[in-house]
Structure 1
Amino acid sequence: MNKSITILMLLLASVVFAQRDVVTKTIEAKRGGTLELEANPGDIFIKTWNKNEVLLKVDGLDKNEAEYLEVKSSGDIITVKYNSKYGWGGSADYFITVPSEMNLSLLTTGGDIEIQNDLTGNVKVNTMGGDIEVHNINGNAQLETMGGDITFRDISGDVKISSQGGNLSGGNIKGSSSELKTMGGDIRLNKINNVKKVTTFGGNIEVNESTGDVELTTFGGNIRLTTGQNNVKAKTYGGNIYIGKANGDVDVNTGAGNIELKQISGNIIAKTSAGNIEAEILSLSSKESDLKTFSGDIRLIISSNIKATIDAEAVTVDWNKDKNRIIRSDFPGKIEDKRGRIVGEFILNGGGTKIELKTNLGEIQINKK
């Protein structure tokens, strides 16, 4: 490259970088107050400390752009807002340190938002395009991104979490929530309390523990719940479903996949169009249970002291196959071959709550626990 051109480029670069500066402001704040920030666009990084003031550093604005940075304090509310003269300016990063007890309302038209320390207060975070990451929040939290991942640790209050296209990953949610939702991504949560709906339109769902009624839905992926302390609903249009334990009724459905239900204390509705079903029942409610697969095997493991009436039906295209191999049971009962439709009835401890097992192309096995 021509030496003069190289020197000219270096000079131009030095002029550009010289024009950009770090804007620093310190604002007196009250614990329990509110910080409202609008970045247009830019990344936002929040830290906490024990001082009763907010330290604001904005990196990336030139001197002309800095004129449009507005910082106001009114009562308990501190407002930081940047709007370019032309409505959309150059990207700037916002580094803010706030009291550890502070409510936050953070908005960026494009960028990541990160709360890097534990915080006591209510949090509202919204980015038009970027990731969200927060530490422990002792308060309510509303986290929304139009396109990015959301990661959080523990949240003590009520929660609303939504991504238009990204993964959701979190620790414990102690408050209630109407819904955790992503339009396309995986959801992984440790412990949720009274979260009514967990939904992804394309991805897997994995929850370690749910302490209230919960509904898990994915339009394409697997569902795994290790422990449900109450009623559980789970639906996938294509994937496997696993419930490790549930102290309540279970209603699960997959368009194509296997279903595995362990340590269920309640009635079961389990349906798959193509896949195997395995269910372990420790106790039953008064409602009927219904396990059906169009193509697959069914295995029921049931406590020997339960009063139940089990009706089993398996349709086979192999009329020469022994009916006692198509339906097998540890409990005494009656099995009949009705021209390819093998039907069995098993009355446990004098009979009781009805359990229906049906497969069109498969075998049925009933075992004592």
Structure 2
Amino acid sequence: MPSRRLSVVVTRRLPEPVETRMRELFDVRLSESEAPMPREALAEAMREADILVPTLTDVIDAPLLAGAGDRLKLIANYGMGVDHIDVATARQRGILVSNTPGVLTEDTADMAMALILAVARRVPEGMAKMQEGDWPGWAPEALLGMRLRGKRLGILGMGRIGQALARRARAFGLSVHYHNRRRLHEGLEDPLEATYWESLDQMLARIDVLSVNAPHTPATFHLLNARRLKLLKPSAVIVNTSRGEVIDENALTRMLRAGELAGAGLDVYERGRGVNPRLRELPNVLLLPHMGSATREARLEMGERVLVNMQTFADGHRPPDQVVPSML
């Protein structure tokens, strides 16, 4: 007799080719909704499934894991970040966690570079004037921004995305500086002509543009607090395509309102969808709805990595993209 196909619950709509392949391989319950799965439904799924396929909008904490059924053995996350999953508790309960690293690198780096260009050249302010019909015509002193060539870019978090951004920045004539938990191997650092700063404070005081590319962990929560943000030049701009919790959003808002920073481009927020309303009012801020990885190619590749992790697990092996607490 054929072996029982593993039971899988998917919490959100995924690209059609990914869902179809899952149907072919597993006993899958797909979501018909674009909205996040309610917590009660998520708890029920975790009691019944062998594999759960969540997204970043599904907070899988210790209480939910405590109620998981004995069958649940793999949480195959559709996405790279896993700060919404209590990985340590999952491991204690014998539940593996996997993610989809690498597939978002180029797209997120593109978005970070786009935000740098847009904020440095005051694109949002120019767009607002045109859309409001408030353009009096060209003037020598109107909407003067920052020339990027010759400026210093500071990258906070020099992983795959940080390095991809550094390659783009070099093409625009930016000097690359970075702070990371560990210095890059010279084989990676030298081609980028990147300057490493062990002291984040010292780097912040010297750069013109700051890009946040660090994950959210207990160690990085409010890493950019009010004191550190004040180290930046008043002419500096800051962009964040990583995790909103890395920045003290209230402190950032106060500084932008006071003219202590030139501008900001944000794709992520400290409270998820709860964007600080004062940020919306600022003309020198570009706000995006978490679009960093929003390409058709990335969404399909994410699904393919999920499928590889699921099938490897079903074959009796550890998923290639397994996440363990020591990695966080």
Normalised by the size of structure 1, how large is the TM-score? 0.24
Q: Which has the higher strand share?
A: 1
Q: Which has the higher helix share?
A: 2
Q: Relative contact order: is structure 1 or structure 2 higher (C-alpha 8 Å, sep ≥ 6)? A: 2
Normalised by the size of structure 2, how large is the TM-score? 0.26
Larger radius of gyration: 1
